[in-house]
């Protein structure tokens, strides 16, 4: 092999300069672990050998592919996720490697021109959400790559449309609506419906107020109790939007209103705690109504659970 004898290989391994990694790979590097090296080993060691004319038919997938593409701040389950074509008989994975066989495999999904073979960011985003440990993690993994500009909303939407059967299909489509940002009023209507079911007073929506910086629109406001709720979609987390929102809300608070920020994803995945805060704000401002919080919480938990079903 490359003019190196077996005895020379054994000497390098015994000296700790090279290391054996699996059945097929020899790492010409010190024994210390390296993430890119481990990714290469995972792909090469699990690639099916059924069709040698097509080369190594495996690639990093899901969160691992996103990390290889530059995703920051999410470590996940610590496993290396590798995908291979359905029924291609990938080799048994190494410890710490999880292999996913996918029906949605084609060469256009794999980026082999630079670095480790991996699924494209939009495909990896959907894979990561489908393979996530919890619905909350799935929502985060669908949002984060778009926030960090590894991919776009349109590309994720196309990749999501390819999913025909999965227990999280409905949840991911629901979260995607928030990412797309085209149904801001629907978030507000959903929030108002939650308030009604809980027995909270009916809020005003899209209220126009004037401040030092001019006129602005408030998502939800109870004028009588001077409580404002802003239902934030993903777009509000962009740095420029975030700064503008903070300045605007500071002015509203200084004028005497209580301002609460509620993420739209929070309403879908954990509505109880956000509605608890809204109720406390109303009561502290003088509202004395009664609620049906216990029944609503049960129904909302059922609805949240059902989002994960098809």
Q: What confidence tier does 170 reach under pLDDT thresholds 50, 70, 90?
A: confident
Q: Under 8 Å CB-to-CB from 305, ≥6 apart: which residues?
A: none
- Other Cβ atoms within 10 Å of 65 Cβ, number: 30
**What domain range is 2 assigned to?**
1-32
- Other Cβ atoms within 10 Å of 214 Cβ, number: 7
Q: Does 143 lie in the same domain as 208? A: no
pLDDT at position 66 is: 95
Q: Does 267 lie in the same domain as 255? A: yes
* Averaged pLDDT, 4-20: 74
pTM of the model: 0.60
DSSP single-letter state for residue 291: -
Q: Does 212 lie in the same domain as 163? A: no
Q: Does 231 lie in the same domain as 123? A: no
Q: Does 74 lie in the same domain as 154? A: yes
User: What's the burial of 74, exposed, middle or buried (CB within 10 Å: 0-12/13-18/19+)?
Assistant: middle
- What is residue 251's three-state secondary structure? helix
20 neighbors 45 (Cβ within 8 angstroms): no
Q: Does 92 lie in the same domain as 76? A: yes
Q: Does 72 lie in the same domain as 1? A: no
pLDDT at position 217 is: 72
Which residue intervals of the chain are DSSP H helices? 6-14, 35-46, 62-69, 121-131, 135-147, 153-161, 169-180, 184-198, 239-254, 264-269, 271-284, 293-306
Domain count, the chain: 3
Q: Does 153 lie in the same domain as 118? A: yes
Domain edge (last residue) among 130, 157, 180:
180
CB neighbour burial string for 176-204, b if at least 16 within 10 angstroms, e if fewer: bbbbbeeebeebbebbbebbebbebeebe
CATH code: domain of residue 200: 3.40.960
Q: Does 161 lie in the same domain as 195? A: no
User: What's the burial of 91, exposed, middle or buried (CB within 10 Å: 0-12/13-18/19+)?
Assistant: middle
* Averaged pLDDT, 186-212: 75
Helix 121-131 to helix 62-69 angle (10° resolution) is 140
In percent, how much of the chain has pLDDT > 70?
Answer: 75
Domain edge (last residue) among 158, 180, 202:
180
Q: Does 279 lie in the same domain as 247? A: yes
Q: What is the pLDDT of residues 95-152, one digit of tens each?
A: 889 999 887 777 666 775 678 889 999 999 999 999 999 988 898 898 889 888 899 8
Q: Does 59 lie in the same domain as 26? A: no
Q: Does 11 lie in the same domain as 149? A: no
Q: Could you identify the residue written with the tokens 């949840």?
A: 171
Q: What confidence tier does 284 reach under pLDDT thresholds 50, 70, 90?
A: very high
Output the average pLDDT for the chain: 78
Domain edge (last residue) among 180, 214, 237:
180
């Amino acid at each position: 092999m490359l003019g190196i004898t077996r005895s020379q290989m054994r000497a390098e391994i015994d000296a700790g300069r090279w290391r054996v990694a699996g059945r097929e790979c020899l790492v010409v590097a010190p024994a210390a672990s390296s993430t890119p090296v481990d990714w290469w080993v995972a792909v090469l060691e699990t690639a099916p050998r059924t069709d040698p004319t097509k080369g190594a038919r495996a690639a990093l997938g899901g969160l691992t592919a996103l990390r290889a593409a530059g995703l920051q701040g999410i470590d996940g389950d610590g496993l290396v996720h590798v995908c291979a074509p359905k029924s291609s008989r990938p080799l048994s994975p190494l410890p710490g490697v999880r292999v996913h066989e996918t029906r949605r495999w084609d060469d256009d999904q794999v980026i082999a021109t630079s670095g480790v073979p991996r699924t494209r960011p939009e495909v990896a985003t959907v894979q990561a959400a489908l393979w996530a440990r919890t619905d909350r993690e799935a929502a985060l993994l669908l949002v984060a790559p778009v926030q960090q500009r590894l991919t776009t909303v349109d590309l994720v939407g196309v990749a999501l449309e390819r999913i025909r059967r999965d227990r999280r299909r409905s949840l991911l489509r629901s979260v995607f609506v928030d990412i797309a940002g085209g149904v801001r009023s629907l978030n507000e209507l959903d929030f108002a419906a939650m308030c009604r079911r809980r027995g909270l007073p009916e809020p005003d929506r899209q209220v126009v107020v004037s401040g030092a910086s001019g006129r602005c629109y408030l998502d939800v406001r109870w004028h009588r109790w001077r409580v404002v709720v802003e239902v934030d979609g993903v777009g509000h987390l962009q740095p420029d939007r975030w700064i503008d929102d903070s300045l605007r809300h500071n002015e509203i608070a200084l004028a005497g209103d209580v301002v609460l920020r509620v993420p739209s994803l929070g309403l879908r995945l954990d509505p109880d705690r956000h509605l608890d805060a809204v109720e406390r704000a109303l009561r502290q401002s003088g509202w004395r109504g009664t609620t049906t919080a216990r029944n609503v919480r049960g129904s909302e938990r059922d609805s949240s659970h059902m989002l994960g079903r098809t």
